[in-house]
Amino acid sequence: MYASAVVVGVSLVVTLFENQAFLTLLLAVFFVFTLWKNATRGKRLENLILISGAFLGSTAEVVATNLGVWRYAVATPLGIPCWLPLAWGLGSYLIYKFSESLENLLNGG
């Protein structure tokens, strides 16, 4: 299941990167839905991972782009695309969920 979410996410970014507004809207819908789903299930840690991943990942991107390590063709004044914090948050969440599933599998669950 998580592998398909990664494939969908990467496919969205690769095919829609030139349409910043639509890509941002789609990722924002996924992001808000995930926050809502976790909140209704009392999963605070998962929402913390989602939000901190968005913040820390995009902060690292801003630092790297402003230091000239790399740059994005279409970026905000901060040097990163507007959809990138959402992608960092969702990516962090997917890594957490994948590692949780892997741990359960390895522990016989």
Whether residue 108 lies inside any domain: the answer is: no
- 62 domain residue, yes or no: yes
Are residues 86 and 13 in contact, defined by beta-carbon separation less than 8 angstroms? Answer: no
Using only the alpha carbons of the chain, give its radius of gyration: 15
Domain assignment present for residue 57? The answer is yes
Q: Is 96 exposed, middle or buried (CB count within 10 Å of its CB: 0-12, 13-18, 19+)? A: middle
> What confidence tens digit (pLDDT) does each residue in 10-59 have?
888 888 888 899 999 999 999 999 999 999 999 999 999 999 999 999 99
Domain count across the chain: 1
Q: Cβ of 6: how many Cβ atoms within 10 Å?
A: 14
Q: Is residue 94 part of a domain?
A: yes
In a domain, 95, yes or no: yes
50 membership: H or E segment, kind and range: helix 44-66
For the segment 47-75, the average pLDDT, to the nearest whole number, is 95
> How much is the pLDDT for 3?
65
In-domain check, residue 43: yes
For residue 109, being part of any structural domain is answered with no
pTM of the entire structure?
Answer: 0.90
**Residue 1: pLDDT band by 50, 70, 90 thresholds?**
low
Contact between 54 and 28 (Cβ < 8 Å): no
Range of the domain at 25: 2-103
